[in-house]
A and B are shown apart, each in its own frame.
Chain A
Amino acid sequence: MTTRLAGVFEEGTAPPLTSPSIAMPAMDFVVQWNRCGITADYLADYLAYAFERRDVARSVITTAANELLENAAKFSSDKNAPVRIAARVRGDFLELEVENVTDGDHVDTLTTVLDALSRGEAPTLFASRIESTERGGLGLIILVRDYAARLGARIVSANGGSLDQTFTVTVRASIAADELEQR
């Protein structure tokens, strides 16, 4: 089992004030795609109490959570494996994490996008995605461009060396409280 990181995957030092998490099979999202939005809305409603400008924070959290969930559901290679979303409120910023099982092709694409975003290339990536028919990662790029989210991933290979290698990927978005409240 090997672990590597992509983008900005840094651990917060302050203990979380609250850290809810939910897990459900990826197939549940495939069967009713609106469940991505429902889950994101639930989490946003739950977390918004931690912020002064609740309506604004709720809107940003639901956008970010929905984006991470849709990506995880869409690119889960084993649709019966769970997608887990977790949040940690650390006072001055929020961490949203989504974990799923995926394949090597998606890991390569995700790593390329996250590394480019960590180099400050969000505007360039956004322009190129808009002009091309390829839309992969557009939602993640928007999270960085519009909310200054710091995005990273922890990638753990589950069965190294085999042809059908799968990876457990945890994508994390860290968003400052000031960005969540649009101050």
Chain B
Amino acid sequence: MASAEETTRTDSAPAHDDRERRALGWMDRLLALSSLGLCALFAYTVLAEVSPEWGPLQREYGRLLAVDPSGKGARAPRGIQQIHVQPLELVDRCTSCHLGADKPRVASTGTRAVLAPHPGSMLELHPPERFGCSSCHDGQGRATSREKAHGREANWAEPLLLGRFVQASCAQCHARASAPRAPDLRVGIATMRRRNCAGCHVVPDLDEDRRFGPDLGRIAEKTSRDWVFAWLKRPAAQLAGARMPDFGLSDREAASLVAFLFSVPPPPRPPAAPVAGKGAEAGRALFSESRCITCHAVQGKGGTLAPELARVGSKLARPWLEGWLRDPKAHDPATIMPRFRLSEEQIGSIADYLGEEFEDEDAERWQRAAASALARDREASAGDGRKLALHYNCAGCHSIADLRPAKIGPEHTELGLKPVARIDFGAKASLPRTRLAYLREKLRDPRGFSKGLRMPRFDLSEEARESVLVTLLSFKDRRYPASVRAAGERRPWHGRPPPGPVGELVRELSCLECHALDGRGGTLAPDLSLEGSQVERPWLARYLAQPTTLRPSLTERMLQLRLRADEVGLLVEYLVAARRADGVKSARELFGAAGAPDPESALHGRRIFHERLSCPSCHATPHGARGYLGPDLSAVGSRLQPGWIYHQLLDPVRARPGSIEPRLGVSPADARALAAYLATLRAPPASAPTETSP
């Protein structure tokens, strides 16, 4: 056809015009094709716009609601759903797909997870209209397609948090160390504190100025070169539950460090004559009486506040041990070990016991290995050791000579937001490119990414590592307003002793490592903030002089510090005078003018205790109750003030936050009767309470 047209052309077009017309024909086709392509693209765009991903889900939810008997009359939402939380500047459109998340369960949805209600009771505590979804789960709340809403988009800083990792968000409002319902966060931050991550990194919540490793000034007096060498090579092999990480030192490096540590002259010490004890048997009795295992473990049994003692006999030099037992804080001002008021003979006995009974069966092996390595590396010099100690920031945990601590690691403050693009995966190219995968591998094999990395290996258990990961991901600050943040201390474990001489004593005895005052301090033992309103004064004095077992189910019990009478008096005065609760009735207010319970209501209370309520499952009484989870109540009348018993029965959790005592809904009348009954359970006046044998 085209050729026919050409032949019929009458004008005198030059020949190249024909070629041009053919070329235009080709371009016409190109134009037609690209126009079609553009139309198709446009049609696709329009289709994609009018058929969003949430459409089928909303129709399905509507059908399921229609067939569900409980859902009759309810209508499925149509269109984009969103939760707007003004104070948090959040817009979450998650409920466009997760249609049932904030509604009661619809039986017909069956196992369809996307339509199911939010599991657990978290939404009751954190209503979506106040907290939204992405404040806890991260992701991209404004997005309305699956992949983008879940934050699986290149460079989206906060991908969806799932499972235990949701806990990372709790720290936006709660203190990590005490966040309720966030066990991983609590364990994680405690683990990080215990392993002293803040020695090298700036870690939120761990900014206290405290040294965690022992003072190494007297290391030469304390132990042998062989032991230090073996320890440096592999701390976990020398001591179960060692806090010090594995620096992967070569024999040469370890030998240099030993040379350096033993070259530091120890500070002067008051001369003390060696003491003779009464033998290991006497020491054993003292050891158990003083409740050493509240803090120290022996072959894995006991507390975790202080080092395991199972192999200590092969480690410590006797004169050092004697000096340490005499006054730990004189050796190392930062230690948490209190000074037990022991006589010289008692010190000797305990030293006998530790030296004889805590032998290390492996001692010969590591001593031989260390001795040969130390002999081999004669060239190891104290100078090299000092350089290594600086390189690895030993002073981050220990106090050694004039070495200064330094934060040699990267800051952790914004670790939970660190862009993946800024993470160096180095040699580990096969890892998934996510923040979580990197951090997990970093904890497992810290130096595997490239040469020259300094972070040591911490040998965390799988569980502990995951908890630490949760905590690491929690390091970010969205700066939520105070109105949504939970009140609470960021560092609740950092106890504040009261002022004055009592404070001196409290500091010296490290009371606040186990007990808390005003919510700050240890969590091992009861909070003493209101002790003055809780216990009877004579009992408190007796208890401080000679602690007794209150909770038979616990390993950790009050230490027998052998306090002097004036020290006991000081503590009792302080607790009784300064530590009182408001609104606790006195005995007179509770029982009338007599101030003592009348037998009738006591009998009534006894019946309520044993017959109506479930008290006997946890407590023991002289009248047949045999529970052992809670405190033994056999002599509770001598211990607790009736007003406090009444106060606590009304609302145990309010009276003592964190108490496991259930809220039984006891009426004031019943509480009065129960208090009357319990007040009659008194210790026999003649016999002083004695320590039950462990």
Our verdict on whether A and B bind, yes or no, reads no
